[in-house]
Amino acid sequence: MRTVPARRVPALLAATALVALALTGCTAAGSSSCLQPGDASKLVNASGDFGSPKVSFPKPLHSSTLQKSIISKGDGSTISSGQLVVGEVAYYDGATGAALGDPGETDIVAGADTTGKSTLPGLQKAMACSTVGSRIAVTGTVKELFSDPSQVGLSGSTTMVFVFDLKKAFPSRATGAPRPAQPGMPTVVLAPNGQPGIKIPSHDAPTSLASAVLKQGSGETVTAKDELLVNYTAVAWSSPDTVASSSWENGSPVVWPDTTGQNYSPPASVLKRLVGQKVGSQIVVVTPGSSATALVIDILGIWKK
């Protein structure tokens, strides 16, 4: 199941369902845990405009390990674990040089998978430590790149070659300035990676929708027409010790409103509370009634206007 619907997804990658949770991994380009170049990845060349790579490499190309080389380095921010990266990708059979699908736009969460949910652990690891605006080459066997080689339709020992143009990376958490806690609202405690824990108060749930800003962002202002990329956690008031739903635990940020029917989508009244907020903000919203639920929502970016 894809969590974030890409606007154009190469067919082979779409079939693997790009769901990957990354809470640990590379944090800097010089980190020893970052994927390193090798003899195979260094042989991959790509020319052409950014977003439309023209790829060449000697055939057959065999990659003995998972490798990444920087073809051209972008001047954007360094990508760290948990960030969702959007880029153009082209991919090939290393033995024959044959393209394995049409190039296109895709997205993937960067970093080392710690959950076993990732279908693309090798590519997920390759995203981290690069900079936005870079063109990178990734080589490795199908077995190293994919958690289930049978989804690809190639032998697990087949070398594949990927070239990514890294166009954008969304933050993995709200980056705004903390705001004072509001009386009567749930208490929110953040893990080191930003994942929220929610403590439900002992009093009854509010009788009307309530919300408060936990972190004040400074990005674009959300409008009613925007599709938003968010991370969220939801806890039912009646079951305070159980997470009802969480993008953090499911493996990737989600787009709201959800038009796919595959993911949790909050009531329209909750979405309205996000209008007028700024990207980078963290909001707590409590729905009223017998099914009262507390949601902590990190607004990561505008996905589509």
The stretches in the chain having pLDDT less than 50 are: 1-9, 15-32
Q: Note the pTM of the prediction, 2 decimals.
A: 0.85
Average model confidence (pLDDT) across the chain: 87
Q: What is the pLDDT of residue 59?
A: 96
Q: Is 200 left (phi over 0), alpha (psi -120 to 50) or beta?
A: beta
pLDDT tens per residue across span 129-183: 999 999 999 999 999 999 888 878 889 999 999 999 999 999 999 999 999 988 9
Q: What is the pLDDT of residue 12?
A: 59
Q: What is the pLDDT of residue 29?
A: 35
Q: What is the pLDDT of residue 197?
A: 96
Q: What is the pLDDT of residue 57?
A: 98
Q: What is the pLDDT of residue 115?
A: 60
Delineate the domains of the chain, giving CATH numbers in brackets: 11-170 (3.10.50.40), 177-304 (3.10.50.40)
Q: Return d(Cα 151, Cα 74) in angstroms, integer.
A: 32
Q: What is the pLDDT of residue 264?
A: 84
Q: What is the pLDDT of residue 265?
A: 85
Cβ neighbour number for residue 113 with a 10 Å cutoff: 24
Q: What is the pLDDT of residue 10?
A: 59
Q: What is the pLDDT of residue 97?
A: 95
